Amino acid sequence: MKMANSLRGEVLALYKNLLYLGRDYPKGADYFKRRLKNVFLKNKDVKDPEKIKELIARGEFVMKELEALYFLRKYRAMKQRYYSDTNN
């Protein structure tokens, strides 16, 4: 039972982190929030600790991908702002 509680904390922390990252999602925060909620609800009945860890790892991968997406978007905006087009 103790293991399930620790995994529950990890899942909640993952959900909160993804929810926070979803604020700047390109299709909108509401779209991201709905999709996130649907995915978590779809997997709410999973009881196997190994499967839960696998799902947590997938969620952490998604977090890293979102961070990379936002970083790339920020980089492109900075590049457009500060560097002129050299093709002209």
Assigned domain for 74 exists: yes
Amino acid at 62: V
- Rounded Cα distance between 53 and 11, Å, is 9
The helix/strand/coil state of 18 is helix
Do the domain assignments include residue 2?
A: no
Domain count for the chain: 1
Question: What's the count of helices (H) and strands (E) in the chain, helices before strands?
Answer: 3, 0
Residue 18 lies in a domain: yes
On whether residue 3 sits in a domain, the answer given is: no
Q: Does 87 have pLDDT greater than 70?
A: no
Instruction: For tokens 């909640």, name the residue.
Output: 12
- Residue 23 inside a domain? The answer is yes
In a domain, 67, yes or no: yes
Residue 75 has pLDDT above 80, yes or no: no
In-domain check, residue 1: no
| 5 within some domain | no
pLDDT (tens digit per residue) in 4-19: 677 999 999 999 999 9
Tens-place pLDDT, residues 27-74: 889 999 999 999 999 999 999 999 999 999 999 999 999 989 888 877
Domain that holds residue 16: 12-82
Whether 85 has a pLDDT exceeding 70, the answer reads no
